[in-house]
Amino acid sequence: MQLSGAAIVLEVLREQEVDVIFGYPGGAVLPLYDEIFKQNHIRHVLVRHEQAAVHAAEAYARSTGKVGVVLVTSGPGATNTITGLTDALLDSIPIVCLTGQVPTHLIGSDAFQEADTVGISLSCTKHNYLVKDVSQLSGVMREAFHVASTGRPGPVVIDLPKNIQLMQSDFVSNQKLVERKSYTVPLKGDEDAVKKAVKLMASAKKPIFYIGGGLINSGDDACRALRELVELTGFPVTDTLMGLGAYSGNDDRYVGMVGMHGTYESNMCMADCDVMINIGARFDDRITGRTDAFSVGSKKIHVDIDASSINKNIKVDVPIIGDAYAVIEQLLKVWKDEACEVNQDALNSWWQQIEQWRGVNCLAYKQKANQVARPQYVLDKLNNMIAGKDAYVTTDVGQHQMWAAQYLKFNKPGRWMTSGGLGTMGYGLPAAVGAQIAHPDDLVICVSGEASIMMNIQELSTVAQYRLPLKVLVLNNGYMGMVRQWQEMMHGDRHSESYMEALPDFVELAAAFGIKGLRADKESDVESILQEMLDHDGPVFVDMHTDKVENVYPMIPSGAAHYEMLLGPDSKPVAVDAKKSAGLV
């Protein structure tokens, strides 16, 4: 049948089972918006800024396992998505972003609202397209969803000139995707490498599973398979910021998040282990510290679907390129077929050492009665109050993000959404919008700071328009907290432009949008305010005033090895036996 380009786009979106689009209209995409108006199958959510559209689509994708879809106009509409696209690329989030473009005959003429979207987005997308032939549009659309969602997921841009949206072309529904030999996605790992990995695991005396966001991207089955492998082996588990929830945060074998603000016991395990099994993590700089001093005494197994991540930062002994679920299933099969057994005496001794490290109690804090609340206290209370609820949590970036990662426990994948790779302030609120749209009946909480929330605070208007019952919890200390912390530690305590002045009255601002606003000024207010926030059946904005000078600990200082942690404001980098066993002295 003959359809316009705009109608073809909507038909393919229906084929791909898209049920929501996050976007903002403009002249170059009006044909598409006209088609949206004519149908009732796909919902459109009108954000207030195009960056917010991408963040909302990211959280929608992360919490559902589907591809997030964005629709924006040409020029500034497209360029406003670049931060979100880069965020999605670094965190491996499947996004298809449809951008309007000036008519093909005007491309290159500096026409009104023209921008080289393909050129600008080249380095921050997994792939991008400029459609110049309407007969190729349906094929491009189908391929874009395939590329975005397979292999290492990521964002794909489709640039759509306005005349292509208006042209007519034959359309065949559910047409088979033409496979490209240049894009092949490995699933199963090399059998010899898998057997070698199992042999290393069985011989390990001090093993550790190190898991990341790639495990969550592989799906819920991958997380269940990992739990089976952990039960089978009894090995401890640590995860990255992006991996929170892939393994239960309340399980005894979980030793906490690893990295710059990870737990003492997790970083010590990584430093002192003899076999490290990395599944879906990148060995990024926030995990490794000094790469030359990173777990130098261990044998490393690295499972990743992205071949370019293997040996990029840390040289490994057993690389396995493949999908996390498929490879874990292979590991399980070989382990069972060969009737492997762990070295139980050595493993018991390893757990005794881990319990000693746990005894340091690195996340302990003291909250004085009737004093300003410490942020750890607030999030600890929140964690206790939402235990048993299937809550979805988004954050912005900074101190509040790290405290949330440390004190909130996640037992399922897809419940924790934060900007890990890019560290994007302004991510949290629009992400909460996307998560709430995806899960309208579930609890969604955005944990933010007073600086981050200002980056995309206009999305309160989106929250109000769609009557989204999400909760915003702002830990307000009057500073760009993480910037202040680094200035204090590394720049002579010179607070250059990190103090926030002229902040709005957040309670009154929320009220201006028709949203319930609450404020807490001291410790005694915290529990009642949080309870009121959770009990209210509509959106709530909480301005939680917290200690202005509190810093995040533990912390690996910049330039230090991953075992050289600061455990508090008066501590020196911890010198531990791991340094000796790692062969550094």
Domain residue spans of the chain:
2-170, 191-358, 375-545
- Per CATH, the architecture of 375-545 is what? 3-Layer(aba) Sandwich (3.40)
- Per CATH, the architecture of 2-170 is what? 3-Layer(aba) Sandwich (3.40)
Q: What would you measure as the largest C-alpha separation in the chain, in angstroms?
A: 74
- Cβ-based neighbours of 190, under 8 Å, separated by 6 or more: 320, 321, 322
For 519, the token pair is: 């404020």
- Cβ-based neighbours of 418, under 8 Å, separated by 6 or more: 241, 242, 394, 395, 397, 401, 404, 405, 427, 428
pLDDT reported for residue 574 = 61
pLDDT reported for residue 585 = 37
Structure pTM?
Answer: 0.95
For 404, the token pair is: 């949330």
Segments in 206-249 forming alpha helices (H): 213-217, 220-233
Segments in 303-372 forming alpha helices (H): 324-337, 344-358
Nearest to 375 by CA among 549, 192, 182, 115: 549
Total Cβ atoms within 10 A of residue 304: 28
Q: How far apart are CA 32 and CA 26, in angstroms?
A: 10
pLDDT reported for residue 500 = 87
- Cβ-based neighbours of 344, under 8 Å, separated by 6 or more: none
pLDDT reported for residue 560 = 87
CB 544 within 8 A of CB 520: yes
Q: How far apart are CA 509 and CA 517, in angstroms?
A: 8
pLDDT reported for residue 582 = 43
Encode the chain (585 residues) as per-residue pLDDT tens digits. 899 999 999 999 999 999 999 999 999 999 999 999 999 999 999 999 999 999 999 999 999 999 999 999 999 999 999 999 999 999 999 999 999 999 999 999 999 999 999 999 999 999 999 999 999 999 999 999 999 999 999 999 999 999 999 999 999 998 988 888 888 888 999 999 999 999 999 999 999 999 999 999 999 999 999 999 999 999 999 999 999 999 999 999 999 999 999 999 999 999 999 999 999 999 999 899 889 999 999 999 999 999 999 999 999 999 999 999 999 999 999 999 999 999 999 999 999 999 999 999 999 999 998 899 999 999 999 999 999 899 999 999 999 999 999 999 999 999 999 999 999 999 999 999 999 999 999 999 999 999 999 999 999 999 999 999 999 999 999 999 999 999 998 899 999 999 988 899 999 999 999 999 999 999 999 999 999 999 999 999 999 999 999 999 999 988 888 888 999 888 776 654 545 444 443
Cis ω on the peptide bond leading into residue 94 (within 30° of 0)? no
pLDDT reported for residue 581 = 45
For 20, the token pair is: 């929501």
Cross-strand pairs, 156: 96, 127
For 208, the token pair is: 């550790």
HSE of 367 in the Cβ direction (CA atoms, 13 Å)? 20
For 198, the token pair is: 């199992």
Q: How far apart are CA 431 and CA 88, in angstroms?
A: 12
CATH superfamily of 191-358: TPP-binding domain (3.40.50.1220)
CB 54 within 8 A of CB 85: yes
Just list the catalytic residues: 50, 112-113, 162, 482
pLDDT reported for residue 573 = 65
Q: How far apart are CA 391 and CA 470, in angstroms?
A: 11
Which residues in 384-422 are b (16+ Cβ under 10 Å) and which e? Answer: eebeeeebbbbbbbbbbbbbbbbbbbbebbbbbbbbbbb
CB-count exposure of residue 506 (10 Å: 0-12, 13-18, 19+): buried
pLDDT reported for residue 584 = 41
Cross-strand pairs, 209: 237, 277
Total Cβ atoms within 10 A of residue 365: 15
E-strand ranges in 406-470 read 416-417, 444-449
Cross-strand pairs, 30: none
